[in-house]
Amino acid sequence: MTVFLGSKWKNMRFTYTEANLLPDHDTVNIQYNKFLDIFGEEGNLIVLAVKDSTLFTPEKFNAWNRLNRQLQALPETTLVMSTENLQTIKKNVEKQKFELKPLSKGTIKNQSQLDSITDKLFNKLPFYNKLLFNKEDRTLRSVVYMDKEIVNTSVRKDFIFNDFIPLIENFENETDLDVRTSGMPYIRTLNSQNIIDEISLFIIAALGVTSLIFFLFFRSFRATFISMVVVIFGVMWAFGILGLLNYKITVLTAIIPPLIIVIGIPNCIFLINKYQQEYQKHNNQAKALQRVISKVGNATLMTNATTAAGFATFIITESKLLKEFGIVASINILAIFLLSLTIIPIIYSFMAKPKTKHLKHLNSKWVEGFVSWLEHLVKNRRISVYIAAVMLLTASIIGIYKIRVSGSIIEDMPKSASFFKDIKFFEKEFDGIMPLEIMIDTKRKNGVMKLPTLRRMEELQKLIEETPHLSQPLSVVNLAKYIKQAFYNGNPKYYDLPTSQENSFILAYLKNGGVQGNVLSNFVGEDGQVARITTFMKDIGTDEMEKIEDDLKTKIDKLFPADRYTVTVTGKAYMFTKGTNYLINNLIVSLALAIFLISLLMAYMFRSFKMIIVSLIPNILPLLITGGMMGYLGIPLKPSTILVFSIAFGISVDDTIHFLAKYRQELKLNNWKIKKSVFAALRESGVSMFYTSIVLFFGFSVFMISSFGGTKALGGLVSFTLLFAMLSNLVLLPTLLLSLERSVANKKEFIEPNIDILTHDDEEDGDDDMEKEPENEPTKK
């Protein structure tokens, strides 16, 4: 099986597009795809900028122009807009047409020539302000348009790392200037590389941390080695299943291999701990292994099924990103169960019997001290436990109301990365880099170039300019203003929309050709019916985005009557915000489904409705506390942190299953004596629950070394939730059982379950024929 799945590794590939959180049939998705059909990929811009007064010297300015020529010569770029090839619109009176003329020709020879060029650039070409320069800070910028056909393919990565970055570094070394670089293709490439680099880091860290903790608990190299063999097989299968299903590696599926390590080790703990406990009891290796499979195997199946159910709830979201994550994670969790249950007993069956040193940890004094402390709390501090639970619940509910929502594309990106610092630079100098598009359909051919439409668009652009967090917009309106300025011999005072009278003269020039076909296609569809207004956003949250959207829509509804125009707000930044809202709206549904599915599993196991309610309370409380903590610490709800609740709930229920399984067994052995059974279950299950919870805590903490804010928050929140869930299951759950006593433990309510999931022997009088066979007869064994 491993060889087969290993052969599928060749199908693994990384995603080269942004995460689309919305389902394909969503209106926002449909509108965005319509925009792409008309104007093509909008996220194909890479921007370079230099903010340094020494740039405006002939030597360095010529080097800047030379860099832009080199970028233009690359086959992956379709256009580079820069001072090197900057075109100005000139009026040719003799031919009565507009012509495009370069701002400068050839190499700049002296400072006076350069001063003349820069004076014209900064003072007489308002069309290019905030596009190629910032007049106030004299920051110079170049815009590189990547080929739209390759911007979402693996070619983009080769271009960025092999051609683009070396050219920038050579220029910086040559001129001692600091080049700021940004734009969606550049950010996505470097961000993707960080994710790829972190996969191996997570796997190594998860293996190291979990194996160390495992060894500290068991004090056995061979037990640790066996566990590592199991989870390494699990990681190999995880990559193979990704390849088998032809799923791309995304920011979510990238964490599945280390996740399998973290979830697989607790399986190993329960199975090996049971094997050693059994062997210590009767020194019969074959019987011990048989009981591991028949008893703990069933319990481990149920615990892995509940964990898989927590992940599987993401399948219903209709978001491709989360659906693929849910499918691969749930399949791999069941796969790691299968690997644990087969590999561990098989390897142990070939190995020598456990020695005294291997069993020494079972009688560890500090573990006994921890269990005794738990017994003391449950026995003597029941009121205190309830008071603490109510206080935490109240504080958590208050904190939950403080949670904010974030739909920012770049919020989770590494804050220490140079490209993140460059993003902040462009936000300050050019008001953002996240594209926001407004598409205007006039519903008639050539309707865009009508003056009433242009004036309506100008009014909308004024609102965009006045809106915080949005950059100066660019559209056919800017081009029309520039053409009027050119008609008046380049006088910047006339950079304005033409009047009706002026329009007739200008149109006479435009009909003779020159600039219309070359430039207009970037702003207007082929038949002149649809126009676009492009602006860029700063890194803002969902709340701010919704305010901006409301303001824009109010203005749009007023300016563009619905019977004559169809106006759509779209763009990658807008899509991501809407996707975040979609996920949050589905959070309650997916979490409710997780609770429902796990309740069904509990019902199937325990056949008692009251037991289901009792078992859910100590597992829902940690989720509420985590939500409250997010509110108090300012951790927003976003695509990455939304995962926390379903994942943590699916895993935390495992402790409940192990505890209640042992509790049910003890009830039968102790003739339905509640207190005796509760404390026996606490002593018996507490050790394994403590071991596994500590492994899970430190295992998920591995994700906190990530440079991605979302992955870091996911690791920290899940770790905290699982640690508190352990305490809740070891303190609150037995306290509830003692308080409710007969109401949840009478024989009528506590029907014999469908699956026997006992964690220890309850059948000393006849477990199997092996018990009666002498240990020293190999043939009979």
Q: How far apart are CA 150 and CA 451, in angstroms?
A: 37
Cβ proximity of 494 and 487 under 8 Å: yes
Which of 517-531, 565-579, 752-766 has the highest mean predicted lDDT (pLDDT)?
565-579
Average pLDDT in the 284-296 region? 82
What is the pLDDT at residue 59? 92
pLDDT at 769 over 50: no
101 three-class SS: strand
Of 296, 225, 302, which is closest to residue 265 (Cα–Cα)? 225
What is the pLDDT at residue 447? 86
Helix axes 572-606, 297-312, angle to 10 degrees: 150
What is the pLDDT at residue 770? 40
What is the pLDDT at residue 62? 92
Alpha carbon of 331 to those of 63, 303, 324, 602, 692: distances in Å?
Answer: 55, 14, 11, 20, 21
What is the pLDDT at residue 778? 44
Q: How many helices (H) and strands (E) does the chain have?
A: 28, 10
pLDDT at 39 over 70: yes
| pLDDT tens-digit readout, 91-107 | 878 777 878 888 888 88
| pLDDT tens-digit readout, 114-162 | 898 888 888 888 888 888 888 888 889 898 888 888 877 778 888 898 9
| pLDDT tens-digit readout, 326-354 | 899 999 999 999 999 888 889 888 887 77
Which of 451-465, 668-682, 728-742 has the highest mean predicted lDDT (pLDDT)?
451-465
| pLDDT tens-digit readout, 722-757 | 888 888 888 888 888 887 766 655 555 554 555 454
Q: Would you list the DSSP string of 448-505?
A: TTSHHHHHHHHHHHHHHHHSTTBPPPBSHHHHHHHHHHHHTTT-GGG-S---HHHHHH
pLDDT at 307 over 50: yes
Q: How far apart are CA 516 and CA 514, in angstroms?
A: 6
| pLDDT tens-digit readout, 396-450 | 999 988 887 776 666 667 777 777 888 888 888 888 777 888 999 998 888 888 8
**DSSP designation for 751:** P
Q: Would you list the DSSP string of 497-562?
A: ---HHHHHHHHHHHTT-SSHHHHHTTTB-TTS-EEEEEEEE-S--HHHHHHHHHHHHHHHHHHS-T
Q: 234-263 burial string, b = 16+ CB within 10 Å, else e?
A: bbbbbbbbbbbeebbbbbbbbbbbbbbbbb
Of 62, 126, 58, 57, which is closest to residue 88 (Cα–Cα)? 126
Cβ proximity of 599 and 625 under 8 Å: no
Q: Kindly report the number of other CB atoms within 10 A of residue 563's CB atom.
A: 7
Q: Are strands 97-102 and 87-92 parallel, antiparallel or unpaired?
A: antiparallel
Q: 119-136 burial string, b = 16+ CB within 10 Å, else e?
A: eebbeebbbbbbbbbbee
Binned at pLDDT 50, 70 and 90, residue 633 comes out as confident
Note the helical H segments in 560-608.
572-606
Cβ proximity of 49 and 141 under 8 Å: yes
What is the pLDDT at residue 767? 43
Note the helical H segments in 159-296.
165-175, 184-218, 221-244, 256-282, 285-291
What is the pLDDT at residue 167? 92
What CATH code is assigned to 189-401+576-772? 1.20.1640.10
Q: How far apart are CA 244 and CA 216, in angstroms?
A: 37
Q: Which position has the token pair 């738990």?
A: 374
What is the pLDDT at residue 390? 92
Which of 180-189, 387-396, 626-635, 662-671 has the highest mean predicted lDDT (pLDDT)?
387-396
Q: In terms of pLDDT, which residue wins out, 261 or 639? A: 261
Average pLDDT in the 635-653 region? 77
What is the pLDDT at residue 764? 42
266: its two tokens: 């607790």
Of 538, 535, 484, which is closest to residue 506 (Cα–Cα)? 484
Least confident interval from 46-50, 552-556, 592-596:
592-596
Mean pLDDT of the chain: 81
Cβ proximity of 550 and 467 under 8 Å: no
pLDDT at 84 over 90: no
Of 261, 232, 256, 231, which is closest to residue 245 (Cα–Cα)? 256
777: its two tokens: 């007869």
Which of 543-547, 580-584, 621-625 has the highest mean predicted lDDT (pLDDT)?
621-625
Strand segments (E) across 12-132: 45-50, 77-81, 87-92, 97-102
What is the pLDDT at residue 750? 52
283 three-class SS: coil
Binned at pLDDT 50, 70 and 90, residue 765 comes out as very low
pLDDT at 528 over 70: yes
Nearby residues of 721 by Cβ (< 8 Å), 6 or more positions away = 622, 623, 625, 626, 644, 648, 652
493: its two tokens: 């005072």
What is the pLDDT at residue 179? 92
Of 191, 303, 316, 307, which is closest to residue 254 (Cα–Cα)? 191
Measured in whole angstroms, the distance separating CA 380 from the mean position of its chain's CA atoms is: 45
Cβ proximity of 749 and 608 under 8 Å: yes
In this prediction the pTM is 0.73
Q: How far apart are CA 80 and CA 70, in angstroms?
A: 10
Least confident interval from 293-302, 398-407, 602-611:
602-611
What is the pLDDT at residue 779? 41
Which of 60-69, 189-198, 772-781 has the highest mean predicted lDDT (pLDDT)?
60-69
